[in-house]
Amino acid sequence: MTIVRFVSADGRDTSEVEAAKGSRLLDVAQADGQPLEGTCEGQMACSTCHVIVDAGDFAALPPPSEMEEDLLDLAAGVTRHSRLACQIWLEPGLASLTVRMPATSRDMQGR
């Protein structure tokens, strides 16, 4: 079991779920109603599953592939801790993982 915490783009809302080991982060996020489209369903062709991993948790994940890094270059609101949720599997030993939704133009409304 991994405790996954989702934080909204503005940081105001958080959601905490228990995910089975081996789950894919994109599937866990979608099951929790997080706003990740995942249009290409993990084929690494869309970057609509972009999330920002907590700085402390980032190093605990296997590093991204070159293809993932290339795709992240095209995503909006990318940070040093950005990842594609379709490329993150919750491996045994990962007790918890905190990820934030990236800011999008829609989330910027009301600023």
Based on the shown chain and the rule CB under 6 A, indicate whether residue 42 belongs to the binding site for ligand FES. Answer: yes
For strands 2-7 and 50-53, give the pairing.
unpaired
- Candidates 5-13, 17-25, 45-53, 101-109 — which segment interacts with ligand FES by CB under 6 A? 45-53
Residue number with CB closer to ligand FES (17 or 40): 40
Please state the closest distance from residue 42 (CB atom) to ligand FES, in A: 5
Among the listed residues 46, 97, 99, 101, the single contact to ligand FES using CB under 6 A: 46
Residue number with CB closer to ligand FES (86 or 94): 86
Q: Which residues are bridge partners to 7 per DSSP?
A: 14, 100
Residue number with CB closer to ligand FES (56 or 91): 91
Q: Are 4 and 19 in contact (CB under 8 A)?
A: yes
**66-75: long-range contacts (C-beta < 8 A, 24 or more apart)?**
68/44, 71/44, 71/45, 71/47, 72/47, 74/47, 75/47, 75/50, 75/102
Please state the closest distance from residue 39 (CB atom) to ligand FES, in A: 6
Among the listed residues 39, 55, 76, 104, the single contact to ligand FES using CB under 6 A: 39
